[in-house]
Amino acid sequence: MTAFPTRLSVDEALALLRGLAAARRMPVEHLATARAEGRVLAADVIAEVHLPAFDNSAMDGFAFRHADAAGHRLRLAGEQFAGHADAAPLGEGECVRITTGALLPAGADTILMRELAREEGGWITFDAAPAPGSYVRRAGEDVGAGDVVLRAGSVLTAARIGLAAAVGRAQLPVHARPTVAVFATGDELVEPGVPLAPGQIYNANRDLLMARLRELGFTPVAWPTLPDDPARMETVLRDAAAAFDLILTCGGVSAGEKDHLPALLERTGRIHFWKVRMRPGMPLLCGELDRALVLGLPGNPVSVLATFTAFAQPLLDALQGRSEPALRLYAALDAPWDKRHERLELLRGRLHCDATGQLRVTPNAADASHRLRGAADRAVGGVWGVGVRARGRGGGGVGSGFCWGARGLRGPRDAVIRVARIAGTPLRG
């Protein structure tokens, strides 16, 4: 009997991670709006002004009072350009030349497009009058002053940055980004570019994690490889734990003779849970050391991708107070697939769209946790991981999982894919 939970379901592990993150929420800092992209809002954004701020023209043309249009002839009384308020109030039968975005002169209520007008001798004529109110943008029709335009917990995309600036916000309160230290473990690892001796492999996991973290907007720090020596491992991890919010390790978390991390963390820190009922990635370890949370990922590269996507990314989101859900898509499974165990399974596959507009996923047959090539394949639009829950042998059903790297889905969270059984392609469990 262990002193910590073990062999949790994916949902149970995620719930524990979210609880840990809630108790360690990152502090709030204020950034210039123009530099806040990708960050998580710490408070609602309330509009200081209307959008549009005033009645204005949606077209280059002529502003006039629609009641004066019956004769199809108006006297040109002046001009109004964007950024100025020079035009006098309109008199009866008058119009004003106006540009897109310019303030609507007092008395005007409609815009005649420039292309539909003829100008001669100070008069404007036209064949047909536009409908009342045509091409006029009314003050506040998009946003009213005092409206909540962005909610706390949302990620600041380019469009949201633009909206915050448009309502007058020069600075925004955001949660600080967690600092992340990245380790790979094992005496067998050497750096790419160095000749391999028998029994050695290149350290791919650290570069994989560093790249993924940078894709998500973090500035991770790569530490030297942890040796298979508990004393030296403890010294290095203690140094990192004193300076970072999150430590990510790869390898050393299973039950082998050289898997020292679980015992080390139990002795010097605290284990929150160990092992999750999923494939690949079952030996996932979560604990803490000094001020840092520690997430120990398995050593096989596909397991690293799976556990990072399923657990590390939600943990990082929660530390920053992110509350908006991931985009949820639905796709049909392209081929039969057998699953004969109770664990949640994450597959590699290709996400594509057929001629009818149906999203489809083709599983990659190379599903062993050391086979990274399938996860890197984006010839059609690689999807990382279609995860399918057991539904009973031969029963088919619906699966859920995580999308990573599919074309058009790049972003802080990417998407969740649900895979549905369709006729002729059963999901067998």
Instruction: Give per-residue pLDDT as tens, 183-218.
Output: 999 999 999 999 999 999 999 999 999 999 999 999
pTM of the predicted structure, to 2 decimals: 0.85
State the chain's mean pLDDT as an integer. Answer: 86
Checking if the pLDDT of 406 tops 50, the result is no
Instruction: Give per-residue pLDDT as tens, 259-297.
Output: 899 999 999 999 999 999 988 899 999 999 999 999 999
**CA 349, CA 362: separation in Å to the nearest integer?**
5
**CA 376, CA 384: separation in Å to the nearest integer?**
9
Instruction: Give per-residue pLDDT as tens, 16-62.
Output: 999 999 999 999 999 999 999 999 999 999 999 999 999 999 999 99
Residues 6 or more apart whose Cβ sits within 8 Å of residue 301 = 204, 205, 208, 369, 370, 372, 375
Amino acid 415: pLDDT: 47
Is residue 374 very low, low, confident or very high in pLDDT (cuts 50, 70, 90)?
Answer: low
DSSP state of 309: I
Q: Which residue has the tokens 């990573």?
A: 404
**Token pair in block for residue 319:** 């530390």
> Phi and psi dihedrals of 338, rounded to 5?
-100, 135
Is residue 410 very low, low, confident or very high in pLDDT (cuts 50, 70, 90)?
Answer: very low
Amino acid 196: pLDDT: 94
